[in-house]
Structure 1
C-alpha cells in the first residue's frame, strides 16, 4: 500500500499578520482567511492557537464575557493560566490589544488577556498609535522590531542640524540640562519627529566625553562649568572626603618592572569570602614565581586583622621580596599605611571595578576554590589547614614557569639572592 503525504504549505508571517489585521478590523474569521489566501480551517486554527478571543466579545467587569468565567474561544488563555514572565510582546499579543481597543475594553482588561501589566499595554498603545489615534498590530509589531535592531544609530549623528543648535547654545554658556529641557518644551509629544528633534542631557555628555560618539566639537567640554576634559563617575572613591585611599598609590604609579614580571618580590592580594561573607581567607601571590601565601583570618577580616596577618606572614620572607603589593579598594585594606611602614613595601591600589589588573591573583583564587569552596564557612579551616593547601598549590607545576612549581622557582631565588 502506498501512502501519499502532502507537505504543508509554508505560510509567511506577512499572511498571518494580514489575517489578524483583517479580523481585528471587524471581518469574520472565514472572510479574513479567504482574503489572506488560506483555508477557513487554517484561519480558525491560527485564531484559536493564538489564544485570542472573538472580536465581537463584550467585556464585562471581570475582563471576559458578562457572566462567563471562561474565554469565549476554546483554547484561549484565561487570567489564571497566563505566563507572566518578562517577555517581548508578540504579534498575537498586539492583535489582542487591537481587539480590546475596538471593543472599548480597559487597559487592565486587555492586560489580563495578554498576561502583562496594564502599564505595558498603555505604553504599547501610546508608543505605536497612528496620527489618527488608531492602533494597527502589524504596523506596531514591525516598528517594535525596528527599535530592537542593534547597533542603533546615535541620534546626533543622524541630525547635524540639531548638533549645530546645541553647539551654538553651549558657546553661549548653556548647560546640557538646560538645552535638553528647552528641546523638550519645543518638541513635546511621542511622535517619531518629536523624538528625533530632542535629546537628553546624557546624550550631550556622551557626545562630549565618549570618543566613539563624538558628533559635537570636542572643545565644547571647556564650555561646561567644570571645564573637565574627561568625565569623573559619581561612584569614584577618591571624590569622597572620607575615603581612606585618597592619598594612596594608584596602579598607574606602579614601576614598569612590575608589569614584565622580570623582578621578583611584587605581590598581588585579595580576600576569598565564605558563606554570606561572614568568613574570609587572605591570598597573596608573587607575580614572578606564582608562589602563594594564605592569611588565616579566623575571627574578623577587618582592616586591623588583615594588616596583622599580612605583616606576620610576609615578615618571614627576605627583605628583597618586599618590593610592592597590589590590592583592590576593599575596606579590608584601610590600614595599608601600617603595612607599608612595617614591611617597608609600597601598596598600590587597582582602579575601581578592575579585577583584571590583578590577573595572577584572580587566577590563583580560582584554583584555590577547589579547597575553599563557595558558600562554605571558611573559618573552619585552621592555620595548619591553610598552610597545607598553600603547600599543595605551590607544588603544582605551572605552564607559565616551564612546568616548574612555584616552590621550585622561589627556592632558586632564595638560593641566589643576586639574581633577585
Structure 2
C-alpha cells in the first residue's frame, strides 16, 4: 500500500468519506490518485462492510439509512455519529461528546467500541453502515439444534431455570460453543414465536408461569411481633453464610389461603425441608411440623431460624424452646430479608402452583419434591447440590 495512505489518516478518512457517500471504490482510487486495488486493500483492512459486486457497481458500499431519526428513544443517527467522530478527533471525553448530542457517556462508549475500525479510528459513515448491517432482521438463531433443544426441554420439565441450564451446559462443554446456550437465548425462544425449536408451551415450566417478564409487585403485609427478636439481632455469621445451621422459613399458600406448605432453607447449603400441613396452617400445626422435622438435625446444624411476621409463627417461643434455636423475624413488609427462602419458594412454585389446593399433596409427594430440589445443581454452590453440601457437613461432624 502506498505511503500516502499508510502515513496519512486524513487521506484514509477522505477515501472512507467517498466510498460511504456512494462513490465506487475504483472511482475513489482514481480521485485520490492511488494505484488500482489499493482502495480494496484499505477497505478490507479497516474491517468495513461488504461491497456490492454486481454489474456496474465496481465496489459500491451500502451506507445504511441516513434519514433515520436520532435522540432519546431512537438509535444513533448518521448526524450524531458525525458529531461523535468530530468529538473523537478533538480528543473529547465520552461524557463531553454525549452532552453535545444529548446522550449519556455510556452510549458513546458502546458505540465506539462496537463500530470503530479495528485500528481504533472512528469513522461516522463506516460506523453507521456497520450498525445498519447489525440491525438487519431476521437474524439466525442459536437454539436450533434438536438434541440441545431436547436437553433443555427435559431439564425445564423438571423445574430447572434457564440460567441454571446455561451454567450447567457451560460447565459440561467448556470447549464446545455449539453445546452451550445462554439463558437469554432460552428466554427469547420462549417469549418470541419462531425463535428456535423449543415447545410453544414450555414457558409454563418457568417458576412464574408467565409468557412475558413483569416487574415485581409490592410486598405483602404481615403481622407484628413486638416482643420477638428482629433480624437485625441475628449473628453476623448467619449473614455471611460462614457457619452452617442458620435457617430461613415461610409458608407457600394455596387456593383461598386455606392450604399451605411450610418451607425451611439452610442458608449455607441451600438444603430445603418441606413441612407437611394437611389440614391447616395454624400456629400449633406449623410449630409441631417444624419441631418434628428439625429435631432430626444435629444441634450444630440448627443454630437460628428466621421467619416472616406471619401469624403462623405465634408459637415461636415453643419452637425456640424445643429446638434450642433462637427465632428471628424480618422487619415489617420486608420479605426480601429472607432472600434465600424467597428464592427457594419461587423454585418450588414449579410443583406447587399458585391458586391451587396444596392439601392434595401427601407427605410422600413433598419428600419427592424436596429430594428433587436438593439434588439439583445450584449456581450459588458452584453447581454442587445442596444434598452433597449437607452430607459433607454431616460426615465432617461425624
For Structure 1 versus Structure 2, the TM-score category normalised by the shorter chain is 0.3 to 0.5
**TM-score, structure 1 as length reference:** 0.42
Which of these two proteins has the greater Rg computed from alpha carbons?
1
**TM-score, structure 2 as length reference:** 0.44
